Structure 1
Amino acid sequence: MDRCKHCGERSVVLDLSCGLRVCSSCGAEQAADNFQLQAFTSDGHALGAIVQSVGDFTYRDRKIRQADVQISDITSRLGLSAARAADVRAMVSEVTDGEFGVGDWFPVLVAACACIVMRRSHLPLAIAEAAATIGSDPHEVGRMVTRVIGFLGLDQIPEFDIFRSLERAVRTCPSLAGVDEERAEEMVRQGRFLLQCAVKWFLTTGRQPLPLVAAVASFVAEVNGVKANVEEIAKEIYAGSHTSKLRKKELMETLVKVAKALLPWGEDVTLKNVVHNAPLLFRCMEMKAKAGTLDMDRFSFGLERAFGGYLSCEGNDSVYFNKSIVSDTDAAGCKDIETVKLSAECLSRAYEKAMESFDAVEPSGESAKSLAKKRKMESARLLQPFISCISTSSENLSFEEILERDVGYDAPPPSFVAGLEARERRRKKIDAAKNRINKVMRPPSTELHAREDGLPQKRLKTTKRHKQDADAGTIDWEDCIIELLLLHQVNEEEIEEGHYSRLLDLHVFCSVNMDK
């Protein structure tokens, strides 16, 4: 028999009526981590063993047990390996001094530690994804990440790796699940190159990285003929759908500017056809980045090799396009082509011959939609040498190397451009406000002369009344503030900066308080 923990006697027996072990001497109920409950028949034969666990766990033991379960559940849903999950548990234990915890704050702490561990391992795990896994707010998880880094005294953790995040999105998103391995690899290479260009064009500066990742993934998918909606990709990688659409539009607008600077037909490239011109544009940008200059002769040779069958002429039709075989007499006759007169019989015979040739064409039985799809596949096959043009030498580049790389176009930061446009807009509002003030303070000279001469004042006919009413209706709160600041003789350059609250406090409200 086992010894009783209360009286010390070896009189612990099993009470079959309740399934517990009790002391026959003092009657104290005993507890054990693991024991076997033996069931017997009336003859004394054993029926089997039932394993029970009646743990004598304290509050701390139960808390740690529950914390381990939560950590395992969260790390498994985030897709962390066993080694990374162990690192997360060790970090949580270090933060809580081995006490762990229970409550709504504990999953937030586990998600924050998971983000830090993955970031230090240079693996893509966004705070938004971790927050969505535990059903919390991303800002709350982000604040917890900052607190953990400060509490543990960690060095500056690496930045979010947008290149690995793009690769993960291309390979794991359900929207791109049907893409074969070779095409997925090509999409990753193109996406990495495009992200490097976006970094050089300052499209990632001061912005959330996931919307741009969704925009690039959607764009390269369209370039490779894969149907993928940017909103679906953004939802799958926990990025904002509206912001992702804006980033994609901004990226395409920038590519249009690059095409106008590099491609010979760049003036014809628009937002509608930039996807079709993207493979050739990538080729130009890569050649520019490698050689420093763009060799258009080499580029034209590549076009001739890809589209030689379409650019060349076959059969008897070549005589009409080959300038070398046109005689001087024919060339001189072409100059007077407008003076040539054709008879009705000649036109009739030509029309009949054309109709006979048209009737001789056998219908293929294919619809217009299938023919368009066939032409699209044929053009994609011809562009394949240009699609597979992004080399692997540009995959691992530092931030400084990306900025120094010349891809044929240097774009200023979007925030800088927006600031210049805002200053220009405020300049126009200032000029309009000055005109309105001058109209009130200095009436037109015609009316002044009429009053001085004593002549009856004639009512001036307003031919643009509707336009004036429309202009008066466009005055907004900003126009009113600018007028108020101008009346208080505020410097116009300070008004252009747009710090209205500071200017109102310095020049308007301060003067009112001084008058009182």
Structure 2
Amino acid sequence: MSCKACGLRTLIRDDATENMICDSCGTVQDFANYQERTFNINGPTGVFISIGSSGCGSVLNYREKKIYEANNLIDDIVFKVGLTGGSKVSEIRDMISKVTDGEFGSSESRWFSIFVGACVYVVMRNGDKSLSIEEVSSVVGCDIHELGRMVVRVVEHLGMKLPGFDIVGSFERVVRSLSISDRVEGDVLERMRKQGIFLVQCAVKWFLTTGRRPLPVVVAVLALVAELNGVEGVKIEEVAREVHVAVSTCRLRYKELLEVIAKVAQEILPWGKDVNVKNAVKNAPFVIRYLEMKCMSKSGGEKKGLESTEFDLGEVVGEYFSKNVVEDSLECEDLRYFELEDAIGFDKTGIDEADKLQLSHECLSMVYDKFLMDGGCGRYMEESGKVLGRKRERELEIQATEWWNGKSELSKKLLLKQLLEKDIGFSVMPPSFVNGCTTIKKRRAKINAAKLRIDRIMNPWNTDSGSGKVCTVEGAHDRKRKRKSLVKDIDWEDFVIETLLLHQVKEEEIEKGYYNTLMDLHVFNSGTM
């Protein structure tokens, strides 16, 4: 090799810089010191690589630097989810090291961040800590389904079995994280916490959490107890945004909760026929009071319903109406039904003596109906024979301290086995099961209608037109109008059902609703080779 400057073959290698230099003119040759460099799991290998450094300004090799940056990422994620120090952080690191055989992963790769989040969720779930997968996914910055798949892989790799989700602990965590603690008194916040725990566990008994994500139920219960206690600023939208769940799902769970409360009120309250979802919040104090007293009563008695508890409905209703509806100028003689005086020897703490008053449900219902007719929710005032005012709505409000006792066991966190053994006086079928039965019933009706339409087309002479006489022009126009009205009620599902029926698909399979699969198998023949 000759020098690029003078052309002489007097090149020598400098021991200090390892560069090729011309001994005659002293020119440093370009690209004369190239050596192949390779990398392995322990870092770069090859010649001219200083062992013990992985770049400028570092004294760590590649593996040590990777583990160092991975630990920094773990500390950052753990800090964002609210864990600082302690045995949980060490347990998370040990789990990550066990799964990766001590190699950890690159902090710059996305999969490692998701993997760390999955390990955090598994450790917290095993420790019965209320950390939702939605919160972890928001910290990691990934989709909830992607994080869930990683959690499944970690659990299967370690051969673990996750315990049930602690929905009560999740509710308490959400209450503590709310920004209303500085605006609400401590006793009110504590009452909201106990009432929320009570309703959350009632929701578990009512199967509102079965097969559903738990956080929307938590948001719905929190919004309801805040409204019952007169706490402003706790809206479903705000709480849902804070716990990273869909607002529409939270509203749906709130509606389901009100529907169950309305059903309970319709069963136990004398004016239950007037209770619906719209006024369920106003009747919720009576329902919660009944459920609480029912839970505190001893089961196994011969009496049922209200008579099996120590729930003094007359006292509650009388105090409710007297404080909120009856004014000084209004003499409500109906309240005498609820004035339980000692003169007749009635003990307000028991229910056996209440039978002597013979206050049946029909009697209480008549009192309530008369109360409404007399203007209990707003009066007509007459002056000089003319109506000066119209019936106005009056807010029926009751203080939370008057209907909430907080001494039942459901106000505290119970194990699932203990919770299922409790009797709260009302049970319902799971909403998902009821919705499924309703959907199947609707599909059965669509199948029958589709069969009639097919039969009408294939056998036009067997219609319900009566005899085989020739129809008049007027009758033909009537059938056209009727046909147009029927066409308006037909949607895409009806056409799919008709197609499947024409291809001899069993009706039992159509009822299941897997239309795409059935169309592929029987119509498009995608399953044939």
Give the TM-score of the pair, scaled to structure 2: 0.69
Closer/same/farther in 2, CA of residues 481 and 140 from structure 1, 3 Å limit: closer
- Aligned to 2:426, the other structure's residue is in SS state coil
Write the distance in 2 (CA, Å) between the matches of 1:61 and 1:424. 64
Closer/same/farther in 2, CA of residues 400 and 56 from structure 1, 3 Å limit: closer
Structure 1 contact 31–55 (Cα < 8 Å) conserved: no
Structure 2 contact 236–250 (Cα < 8 Å) conserved: yes
Structure 1 contact 283–390 (Cα < 8 Å) conserved: no
- Provide structure 1 residue ranges, at least 5 long, that are not aligned to the other structure: 1-27, 34-52, 324-349, 359-371
What is the identity, as a one-letter code, of the residue corresponding to 2:148?
A: G
1:426-441 superposed matches below 5 A: 426-440=443-457, 441=459
What is the identity, as a one-letter code, of the residue corresponding to 2:451?
A: K
1:201-216 superposed matches below 5 A: 201-216=206-221
Which of residues 222, 229, 245 is equivalent to 2:227?
A: 222
Q: 1:166 deviation in Å?
A: 0.4
Write the distance in 2 (CA, Å) between the matches of 1:311 and 1:249. 28
Structure 2 contact 96–119 (Cα < 8 Å) conserved: yes
Q: Which residue of 1 aligns with 2:492?
A: 477
Q: Which residue of 2 aligns with 1:272?
A: 278
Q: Which residue of 1 aligns with 2:265?
A: 259
- Aligned to 1:82, the other structure's residue is in SS state coil
Does the alignment pair 1:143 with 2:149?
A: yes
- Provide structure 2 residue ranges, at least 5 long, that are not aligned to the other structure: 1-47, 338-381
Q: 1:241 deviation in Å?
A: 1.3
Write the distance in 1 (CA, Å) between the matches of 2:265 and 2:335. 29
Closer/same/farther in 2, CA of residues 76 and 461 from structure 1, 3 Å limit: same
1:200-349 superposed matches below 5 A: 200-227=205-232, 228-291=234-297, 292=299, 293=304, 294-295=306-307, 298-305=312-319, 307-308=321-322
Which of residues 175, 186, 209 is equivalent to 1:170?
A: 175
Which of residues 36, 57, 60 is equivalent to 2:60?
A: 57
Structure 1 contact 283–389 (Cα < 8 Å) conserved: no
- Aligned to 2:211, the other structure's residue is in SS state coil
Q: Which residue of 1 aligns with 2:419?
A: 402
Structure 2 contact 215–245 (Cα < 8 Å) conserved: yes
Closer/same/farther in 2, CA of residues 307 and 437 from structure 1, 3 Å limit: closer
Closer/same/farther in 2, CA of residues 231 and 390 from structure 1, 3 Å limit: farther
Which of residues 63, 66, 69 is equivalent to 2:69?
A: 66
Aligned-residue CA RMSD (Å): 3.9
Percent of counterpart pairs with the same letter? 40
Q: 1:310 deviation in Å?
A: 6.3
Structure 2 contact 114–142 (Cα < 8 Å) conserved: yes
Aligned length: 418
Closer/same/farther in 2, CA of residues 447 and 247 from structure 1, 3 Å limit: closer
- Listed one character per residue, the Cα deviations across residues 20-59 of structure 1 (whole Å, up to 9, x for unaligned) are xxxxxxxx999999xxxxxxxxxxxxxxxxxxx9652211
Write the distance in 1 (CA, Å) between the matches of 2:218 and 2:333. 52
Q: 1:80 deviation in Å?
A: 0.5
Structure 1 contact 215–247 (Cα < 8 Å) conserved: yes
Does the alignment pair 1:80 with 2:97?
A: no
Structure 1 contact 261–408 (Cα < 8 Å) conserved: no
Write the distance in 2 (CA, Å) between the matches of 1:106 and 1:461. 72
Closer/same/farther in 2, CA of residues 488 and 31 from structure 1, 3 Å limit: closer
Does the alignment pair 1:190 with 2:195?
A: yes
Write the distance in 2 (CA, Å) between the matches of 1:316 and 1:434. 64
What is the identity, as a one-letter code, of the residue corresponding to 1:166?
A: F
- Greater Cα offset, 162-171 or 460-469: 460-469
Q: 1:498 deviation in Å?
A: 3.3
What is the identity, as a one-letter code, of the residue corresponding to 1:427?
A: R
Structure 2 contact 92–123 (Cα < 8 Å) conserved: yes
Closer/same/farther in 2, CA of residues 182 and 497 from structure 1, 3 Å limit: same
- Listed one character per residue, the Cα deviations across residues 382-402 of structure 1 (whole Å, up to 9, x for unaligned) are x52203445345523332333
Closer/same/farther in 2, CA of residues 30 and 411 from structure 1, 3 Å limit: closer
Does the alignment pair 1:101 with 2:101?
A: no
Structure 2 contact 121–133 (Cα < 8 Å) conserved: yes
- Greater Cα offset, 306-315 or 132-141: 306-315
Q: 1:430 deviation in Å?
A: 2.4
- Aligned to 1:136, the other structure's residue is in SS state coil
- Listed one character per residue, the Cα deviations across residues 405-438 of structure 1 (whole Å, up to 9, x for unaligned) are 3323221111221122112212221232233233
What is the identity, as a one-letter code, of the residue corresponding to 2:231?
A: V
The structure with the largest helix share of the pair is: 1
Which of structures 1 and 2 has the bigger CA Rg? 1
Structure 2 contact 324–398 (Cα < 8 Å) conserved: no
Q: 1:485 deviation in Å?
A: 4.0
Write the distance in 2 (CA, Å) between the matches of 1:262 and 1:211. 28
Which of residues 123, 128, 138 is equivalent to 1:132?
A: 138
Q: 1:117 deviation in Å?
A: 1.4
What is the identity, as a one-letter code, of the residue corresponding to 2:425?
A: G
